[in-house]
Amino acid sequence: MQRSEFTPPRWLRSPHVQSVLSSSPLRALRARRRLHRLGATHDAVVLDVGNGVRLQGVHSVSPGADPRGLVVLLHGWEGSVDSNYMRLTAARLLDAGFAVFRLNFRDHGDSHHLNEGIFHSNRIDEIVDAVRAIAARWPTRPLFAAGYSLGGNFALRLALRARSHGLPLQRVLAVCPLLDPARTMDAMETGLPIYLRYFERKWRHSLARKRALFPQAHGFADDVLQLRMRALTEWMVLRHTDFATLDDYFEGYSVAGERLRALPIPADILMAADDPVIPVGEFARIVDFPNVQVELAAHGGHCGFIEGAMLDGYAERWVAQRLVAAS
């Protein structure tokens, strides 16, 4: 396991300060300004990925540039293409000479209207199809993927399927990726309540929006929206997936244990030892896998890695630097 060079000043060493500052309004303003200053074009795209599924994203490229590659960026659960880390990472990549496609999972960002079915974390097939569609639309560029949190989990599952599903991915990167969903749920339930409450609030809002758009398909009562995270997840699993139990559902998108040993392409992982959402112990088990490289920082919180008062993030710089070195 590689020790990270990320060392924030003392006042930024709390994992909770790191995690909260990552999504702060000041950082959002910085993200919008940095992306705007580059002068890149940002085209909204709706991908028809088959079986009636449509996914939304944004393709960005610097005018007149011959990109050194195309990077598909995947956000975390209840994030979107406009999340701070997505915009800032896109800016870093554009500045480094890459084209970028920021992909929304279904029911994230402003995409609830595109599909009747509800998002869940085992919808990997449509993400595979989306990446295949992106590769077909821009076929001359080397293809990479990078994701944060749940997006990191999706990136690693894309890597596992790269050869068997005909994805021309050359490398994936994951920041604070979710490896074991069951253990992550346990950690959130026993940790500082702010994180569980944050995701519960965001998910309830998403489900209420889905119900308003498709009342004929989602006629659940308001009491469902008051369920706590574990109970709400089980409700969703039993009614909107083919899994028989919550444990089966968690196993369906887990990449813990020996799963990543079979990675056919390289994967770089950046993790913080003090992540309050993702248990760090799982990462010690994968450091010796052939195509896995783990960089562990002592601090950083969950997808934070804030470097100083300007709210720049080491993670965005890390993604760009790793891909420059690989391309």
Among all residues, which ones are annotated catalytic?
149, 275, 302
CB 193 within 8 A of CB 207: no
Radius of gyration of the chain (CA): 19
Residues with Cβ within 8 Å of 94's Cβ and at least 6 positions away in sequence, in order, are 35, 38, 40, 60, 61, 62, 100
Nearest CA to 217 out of 105, 77, 115, 78 is that of 115
Q: Measure the CA–CA gap between 181 and 254, rounded to whole angstroms.
A: 6
Q: Measure the CA–CA gap between 73 and 80, rounded to whole angstroms.
A: 10
* Cα first-last separation, the chain: 23
Q: Measure the CA–CA gap between 104 and 113, rounded to whole angstroms.
A: 13
CB 180 within 8 A of CB 202: no
Question: In the beta sheet, which residues pair with residue 73?
Answer: 102, 146
